[in-house]
Chains A and B, each alone.
Chain A
Amino acid sequence: MQTYLPRKTSEGSRQQTGGRDQLSEPPVVVFTQNGKGKARNVGDLVFKNLTLFFAAVVFSLVFLMAYEMYKGSNLSIAKFGWKFLWTSVWDPVRGDFGALPYVYGTIVSSLVALAIALPLSVGVAIFLAELSPDWLEKPVSFLVELLAAIPSIVYGIWGMFVLVPIVRSSIGPFLTKYLGFIPLFTGAPYGFSMLAAGIILAIMILPIITSISRDVMAAIPNAQREAALALGATKWETTKIVLSNAKSGIAGATLLGLGRALGETMAVTLVIGNISRISIHLLDPGYSMASVIANEFTEATSDLYLSSLIEVGLLLFGVTIILNAIARVIVWSVTKRFAS
Chain B
Amino acid sequence: MTKGSNAGVDRWRKFKNAFMIGLSVLSALVVIAPLFVIFGYTLSRGIGSVNLDFFIHMPKPVGETGGGMANAIVGSLMMVGIGGLIGLPIGIIAGVYLAEFGKNPFGAAVRFMSDVLSGIPSIVVGIVAYVIVVIPMKHFSGFAGSVALAILMIPTVTRTTEEMILLVPHSLREASLALGVPSWKTTIRVILPVATKGITTGVLLAIARAAGETAPLLFTALGNRFWSTSLNQPMASLTVFIYDYSKAPFTDWNNQAWAAAFVLICIVFLVNILFRLVTRSRYGIGNT
Contact = CB atoms under 8 A, between A and B. Distances in A.
A127 B184 contact: no
A76 interface: no
A29 B177 contact: yes
A63 B128 CA distance: 12
Contacts of B242: 151, 153-154
Contacts of A180: none
B200 to A, nearest CB: 9
B198 interface: yes
B128 A239 contact: no
Interface residues of A, number: 121
Counting chain A CB atoms within 10 Å of each CB, the highest count among B26, B34, B167 belongs to B167
Contacts of B23: 123
A95 interface: no
Interface string A116-148: 000111011011110110000000101111111
Given A203-B34, A317-B120, A208 B164 contact: no
A294 B170 contact: no
Contacts of A212: 159-160, 163, 198, 201-202, 205
Interface in A184-243: 203, 206-208, 210-212, 215-216, 218-222, 234-237, 239
B128 A35 contact: no
A158 B184 contact: no
Interface in A43-78: 43-44, 46-48, 50-52, 54-59, 61-65, 68-69, 72
Given A212-B160, A263-B122, A62 B113 contact: yes
A211 B164 CA distance: 12
B16 A236 contact: yes
Contacts of A150: 35, 38-39, 42, 212, 265
B28 A324 contact: no
Interface string B1-43: 0000000000001101100110111111011101101110110
A252 B159 contact: yes
Contacts, number: 352
Interface string B173-190: 110010000111101100
Given A145-B272, A266-B214, A215 B124 contact: no
A121 B118 CA distance: 19
Contacts of B177: 29-31
Given A40-B183, A157-B246, A320 B116 contact: yes
A184 B174 CA distance: 54
A50 B173 contact: no
A35 B120 contact: no
Contact of B91 (A26, A34, A58, A210): A58
B184 A46 contact: yes
A262 interface: yes
A135 B155 CA distance: 32
Interface stretch (A17-25, A83-91, A171-179, A273-281): A17-25
Given A55-B110, A222-B288, A316-B124, A321 B116 contact: yes
B182 A55 contact: no
Given A29-B173, A258-B119, A313-B124, A123 B26 contact: yes
- Nearest first, the 8 A-B pairs at minimum CB distance are A35-B103, A123-B27, A218-B286, A151-B212, A259-B118, A18-B169, A47-B184, A51-B97
Given A19-B167, A51-B94, 11 more contacts: A24-B102, A36-B104, A37-B101, A44-B184, A123-B26, A142-B273, A146-B265, A150-B265, A153-B212, A211-B205, A265-B122
